[in-house]
Amino acid sequence: VCYISSAHLAKRAIRSIVVGQNNYLFEASDKGVKETAIAYTLIEMAKANRLNMYCYLIYLFEKLPNINF
């Protein structure tokens, strides 16, 4: 049996965010940084729940505009 340490899983989970940090340095505005962070969050949430990222994002973009908060 092969066990993967939780630290390894945590590192893998945040890898794309860490790689994206350099991209944040070149965002034109604070709003751009916030929107990029939201996009990364949605994508990582889909990955964590083993969802198809493309289908998940399409679903959100179709449903969210019609929801009254």
For residues 11 and 3, what is the distance between their CA atoms, to the nearest angstrom? 15
What is the pLDDT, as a whole number, of residue 1? 45
Q: At what angle do helices 30-48 and 6-24 cross, to 10 degrees?
A: 150
| 55 three-class SS | helix
What is the pLDDT, as a whole number, of residue 36? 78
Query: Over its length of 69 residues, how does the chain's per-residue pLDDT go in tens digits?
Result: 455 556 666 677 677 666 666 666 666 777 877 887 788 888 888 888 889 988 988 988 888 888 776
| 39 three-class SS | helix
